[in-house]
């Protein structure tokens, strides 16, 4: 499985290329937490048409899926549960060949700040 690690404050982002018809409005990837499948992480984006196939009836698309990672997300590993294309009217159609990918949310190791000057007291007004 291909797993990418992210920390709070970062944007989780993945680019996907696919072929399909010409009406795709949005693509959403749903990731489920490995230890708590009810906990989900959603990455989504609007695809951009790359090349029409002429008379073949399909188009090459590229979409960048993303979400902002916050401290509210549960740490740990998430696996791709579904990858869906949304069409006008809200109909969602799952991709037929979703890849085996995952996201790991980890706490970033941040060194503690250090006081660099004198501590001064004052009186407020």
**Which CATH number goes with the domain that contains 12?**
2.60.40
pLDDT tens string, the chain, 125 residues long: the values are 899 999 999 999 999 999 887 678 899 999 999 999 999 999 999 998 777 666 667 788 899 999 999 999 999 999 999 999 998 888 999 998 889 999 999 999 889 999 999 999 999 87
**Residue 112 falls inside a structural domain:** no
Distance between CA atoms of residues 14 and 42, nearest Å: 12
CA 98, distance to chain mean position in Å, is 14
Structural domain boundaries, residue 43: 2-105
**Residue 125 falls inside a structural domain:** no
- Are 74 and 58 a contacting pair, CB within 8 Å? no
- Are 84 and 27 a contacting pair, CB within 8 Å? yes
For residue 90, give the DSSP letter.
S
**Residue 121 falls inside a structural domain:** no
Q: What is the domain count for the chain?
A: 1
- Are 94 and 66 a contacting pair, CB within 8 Å? no
């Amino acid at each position: 499985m291909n797993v990418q690690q992210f920390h709070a404050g970062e944007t989780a982002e993945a680019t996907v290329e696919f072929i399909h018809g010409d009406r795709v409005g949005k693509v959403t990837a749903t990731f489920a937490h490995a230890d708590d499948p009810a906990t989900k992480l959603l990455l989504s984006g609007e695809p951009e048409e790359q090349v029409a196939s002429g008379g073949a009836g399909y188009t090459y698309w590229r979409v960048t899926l993303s979400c902002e990672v916050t401290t509210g997300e549960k740490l740990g590993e998430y696996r791709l549960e579904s990858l869906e294309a949304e069409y006008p009217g809200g109909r969602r159609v799952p991709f037929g060949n979703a890849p085996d990918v995952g996201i790991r949310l980890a706490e970033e190791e941040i060194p503690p700040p250090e006081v660099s000057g004198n501590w001064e007291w004052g009186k407020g007004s």
